[in-house]
Structure 1
């Protein structure tokens, strides 16, 4: 199975830390955030990873190389100086990920104890998303989980973790869904992923699960410092 680690963001909320370092390369617990993902993906049997890049893109191959240290192959999808948003970045990476088999996609700026080996390798619909309890910075959640199906709205709203399994079929009608949104007519196009997910949910084509374990959206310097302290303390007490 292949995987995509989304790493093209500008990291503006993390300034000044991201002025010279892309957010996924910031360290917590003695290793880059993206390093935690690569270790877990390798342990789950993923042998090929695509990393999309934009801001300070040259630092990724310098830090991660070709993936040999994790027993995998890493390829890079450069988006240019302006990130293409999650939808555009994923769409651009499809030629490297393939158009036939499902792939895992993970936000490069999160940390969790989700076991990637337990994710479905062949979701029944267009996507399968891992949901978590709503954190303080997102109290209203993103999507509603009803059993194992996700909907745009409903009584049990949870937060999207940034971890999912996708099929290229999610993008088959992306122009129709996105319409004339700013950036959609660029080459390559720039667009958000959420409208495609909501359209697929309306077709009952998105499944989900509720992860009740550990998860951190490393969106601010304080959250990074807190995560680093926890992981360092755990390492000392092993």
Structure 2
């Protein structure tokens, strides 16, 4: 199965560390974010990988070559000319994916959720996309109905709210985990540009099925900050 790892970001939340190396190469107990994510995906059956690059590209290419030497099959999507955000980056790489559903995974999200299970749920639902979500505190939250369909978005800090379907009732807040399974038909509804997958999902949810997959079990870390990066290091040390 195919998967894309979003690894082109600037990593500004990590501060000075990303002045000299890309976020995807942050050290986690002797391994890189990218290496750990690739290993996890391959272990889950996603063994044909695509990685996008932008920030410190030569370092990224060196790490990708190292992972290839260990047997990983990795294609590169080059965004050195312009950082395209998640939806724009995905659309640029569309020729890679073929006719089967595929997974897309932020490089800085770490979880033990059942990825093959989410993939199977997506196929069974007939959805255009299935987003991994979790009950957790946060400011920018997705809004879902009782069936788990995406119905909106809320920023709890600014009180901004987007509702995709009028008269939606009993909507529940969930946090997006940065992992999704998508059907290739989504490319027919996309265009070139610089924009996020979240904005795309909210637009498409008005007329298409965007589902969620809840994973309240196990662990999840967004390692885009120094504090959370240390949390995943500690967790993996304890989990040995």
Please give the range of the TM-score, normalised by the shorter of the 2 chains: 0.7 to 0.9
Contact 1:129 1:209 in 2 (8 A): yes
2:91–2:190 CA contact under 8 A, matched in 1: no
Secondary structure in structure 2 of the residue aligned to 1:89: helix
Which structure 1 segments of 5+ residues have no match? 176-187
Cα displacement (A) at 1:96:
1.7
So what's the TM-score if we normalise by structure 2?
Answer: 0.83
**Secondary structure, in 3 states, of the residue corresponding to 1:64?**
helix
Residues 27 and 33 of structure 2 are in contact (CA less than 8 Å); yes or no, is this contact kept in structure 1?
Answer: yes
1:108, CA displacement in angstroms?
0.5
Counterparts in 2 of 1:67 and 1:32: CA distance versus 1, 3 Å: closer
The SS at the match of 1:146 is coil
TM, length-normalised to structure 1: 0.84
Deviation at 1:70, TM superposition (A): 5.6
Residue equivalent to 2:111: 112
Q: Check 1:66–1:206 CA distance in 2 against 1; reply closer, same or farther (3 A cut).
A: farther
Q: What residue is the counterpart of 1:228 in the other structure?
A: 233
Unaligned runs of 5+ in 2: 153-162, 164-169
Give the RMSD, CA atoms, in angstroms: 2.1
Report deviation, 1:4: 0.1
SS in 1 for 2:46: coil
Q: Secondary structure at the match of 1:65?
A: helix
- Indicate if the aligned counterparts of 1:55 and 1:81 stay in contact, CA closer than 8 A: no
Q: Which moved more, 1:48-57 or 1:190-199?
A: 190-199
* Residue 48 (structure 1) shift: 0.8
How many residues are aligned here? Answer: 220
- For the Cα contact (< 8 Å) 1:29–1:228, is it kept in 2? yes
Residue of structure 2 equivalent to 1:16: 16
Residue 190 of structure 2 corresponds to residue 169 of structure 1? no
